[in-house]
Amino acid sequence: MIDASLRELSQALAAKQVSSVELTGLFLDRIERLNPALNAFVTVDPEKSLKMARAADARIAAGSAGPLTGIPIAQKDIFCAEGWRTTCGSKMLANFVSPYDATVIRKMEAEAGLVSLGKTNMDEFAMGSSNETSFFGPVRNPWDRERVPGGSSGGSAAAVTARLAPAATGTDTGGSIRQPAALCNLTGLKPTYGIVSRYGMIAFASSLDQGGPMAKSAEDCALLLNAMAGFDERDSTSLDRPREDYARDLEKPLAGLRIGLPREFFGEGCDAEVMAAVRAAIAEYEKLGATCVEVSLPNSHLSVPAYYVIAPAEASSNLSRFDGVRYGFRAEDYGNLDDMYMKTRAQGFGAEVKRRILIGTYVLSHGYYDAYYLQAQRIRRLIADDFVAAFRQCDVIMGPTSPSTAFKLGEKAADPVQMYLSDIYTIAVNLAGLPGMSIPCGFAGGLPVGLQLIGNYFDEARLLNVAHRYQQATDWHRRRPAGVA
Amino acid sequence: MSLTLEQVQRIAHLARIEISAAEAATTQGHLNGIFQLIEQMQAVDTAGVEPMAHAQDLSQRLRDDKVTEEDRRATFQAVAPETEAGLYLVPKVIE
């Protein structure tokens, strides 16, 4: 049951072979037993989860269930959920109980009938690539507990990998769904910017942030995206588009598919064993009928520098709301109002968050705006245009998700620049606003390797099809760590 | 480009984050490392390139000018550090 796909769970629930209460209890029990060693969840509330499960069972009995009704899911702690502590991995919100639901939570719980198992650990305010910046301590990778699960959606990744949940939500600003999926052997999808509502998803960099599913297969991701996506008038950047079934093309044959291989993704800077696994996956795609064409993303080497201007700039603005006045942490001792702000923010934010606020404050400050922020936005345009040109020659772009497998806890924590470079292959996708996936494609030194798939705007159904057909032909995505049982 | 300690202190003040002398020194090192990475941008000629502020070229939607949210002041203030009579309390600003 713990390895079952969402479709199999749905069928078992519909056939009354299992109830949602039983299924929810099974995963809550696993969380209780296995979470202490992983630190994947920061909040569980069995009473709340079981109440949702009872409501789901009632819907199933009444014949008004949807395809995901009654299936448990882990929620990244960046999504506000009414009545749940919602921390975003920060001391600033360590005691914040949300008075409202994010649109993603509302759609998943109230509309689709999914059962939330709890809130998963994450890098503080989603700023990190290893989950080590969380106020609640690092998450451990179930493949090797001395290694990181990736970040920032590392708790969600570890939870699904250790089968503490059938699937999870994540968010991706610079790679935060795809990189942990790669490091933990999961399938993760970052949708086109604007597909999934950001209402109630605590903002890091608003022009880049996008929520998406993390699961054990492309098919599971397709079903979850159906529940998560859709226009929301409460998000001014939500796109008003016709509803689509993201699972509609899963079975389409891949004959004639044109895969673009950016030469910049196949040069230096990537671990040789990781590259070998990626190349083997591409060879498998050729067997499935795809053809490869070399493409170029000549400005991709500028994506990390541009990102570390744009994302901190937006973050410094977004995080100015945490001032100790309306919600969240307030320092104990302070003098005047300014002192209260300064002490609250000094004590409430961790080191990485402060660093990014300072970078953002500087690049937006008088006299530096043109040289940094405007220049970064111009480079962002060049990067996006590179993708437009590449997609004239191909249907999907492939390459590694991460330049290495899961690294050791503490290995990069002291050097921010080394940590930032873990996202060299993922960041350009956020800057352009394109959809991207990571799927399991092999192992290097016993640790999972992820293949990144990048699609054109709104091409989620095709990406999921391309991922699904590979998963029909291979079994990498079915592997789980030896210790997980 | 290299930030001085005074600049680090100045930025921290603009960001309203109290920073000790020891923290400022460590932060200076980290920020300068990060700006070394960022400086790669300066070699690129971007004359005539339209800045891209957002992933989608959208104009802001307008909605009807009517009340759509219910009054939930009490619920929202329940999570505030300090309130009184429906107001958020902060240290005195005007003498």
Averages of pLDDT over runs of 10 residues in chain A (485 residues) are 97 98 98 98 98 98 97 98 98 98 98 98 98 98 98 98 98 98 98 98 97 98 98 94 97 98 94 98 98 98 97 98 97 96 98 97 93 97 98 98 97 91 96 98 98 98 98 98 86
Residues of A classed as catalytic? 76, 152, 176
For A442, the token pair is: 């092999």
Domain total for chain A?
1
Whether residue B63 lies within 8 A of chain A, CB to CB, comes out as yes
ipTM: 0.96
Does some domain include residue A17? yes
Give yes or no for a cis peptide into A19 (omega within 30° of 0).
Answer: no
What pLDDT score was predicted for residue A414? 87
What pLDDT score was predicted for residue A63? 96
Does some domain include residue B35? yes
What pLDDT score was predicted for residue B62? 87
Does some domain include residue B9? yes
pTM of the model: 0.97
Rg (CA), chain A: 21
Which residues in chain A are closer than 8 Å to B7, comparing Cβ atoms? Answer: 362
For A289, the token pair is: 């009928």
CB distance A85 to A50 below 8 Å? no
Residue A69 lies in domain: 6-255
What pLDDT score was predicted for residue A440? 98
What pLDDT score was predicted for residue A459? 98
Does some domain include residue B73? no
Does some domain include residue A447? no
Nearest to B11 among A342, A345, A362 (CB): A362
CB distance A69 to A114 below 8 Å? yes
Q: Kindly determine whether residue A361 and residue B14, on different chains, have CB atoms separated by under 8 Å.
A: yes
Does some domain include residue A446? no
Q: Is B68 helix (H, G, I), strand (E, B) or coil?
A: coil
Whether residue B54 lies within 8 A of chain A, CB to CB, comes out as yes
Does some domain include residue A331? no
List the single residue in A with minimal CA-CA distance to B46. A378
Which residues in chain B are closer than 8 Å to A358, comparing Cβ atoms? Answer: 8, 11-12, 15, 17, 27, 31
* CATH code of the domain containing B24: 1.10.20
Nearest to B61 among A236, A337, A377 (CB): A236
Rg (CA), chain B: 23
B3 min Cα distance to partner chain A (Å) = 10
B33 min Cα distance to partner chain A (Å) = 7
Residues 6+ apart with CB under 8 A from A21: A50, A53, A54, A57
Which residues in chain A are closer than 8 Å to B53, comparing Cβ atoms? Answer: 207, 377
What pLDDT score was predicted for residue A428? 98
Angle ∠(A201,A377,A313) on CA atoms, nearest 5: 50
Does some domain include residue A146? yes
Place of tokens 């991701």: A221
* CATH code of the domain containing A210: 3.90.1300.10
Does some domain include residue B24? yes
Taking only the tens place, the pLDDT of each residue in B26-82 is 999 999 999 999 999 999 999 999 999 988 877 788 889 999 889 999 999 999 999
Residue B39 lies in domain: 5-43
For A55, the token pair is: 């409501």
Whether residue B44 lies within 8 A of chain A, CB to CB, comes out as yes
Nearest-angstrom CA–CA distance, A215 and A188 = 6
List the single residue in A with minimal CA-CA distance to B87. A326
Which residues in chain B are closer than 8 Å to A235, comparing Cβ atoms? Answer: none
Nearest-angstrom CA–CA distance, A81 and A39 = 20
What pLDDT score was predicted for residue A287? 98
Does some domain include residue A187? yes
Q: Is B90 helix (H, G, I), strand (E, B) or coil?
A: coil
Domain total for chain B?
1
Q: Kindly determine whether residue B76 and residue A326, on different chains, have CB atoms separated by under 8 Å.
A: yes
Residue A62 CA, distance from chain mean position: 34
Nearest to B15 among A99, A324, A361 (CB): A361
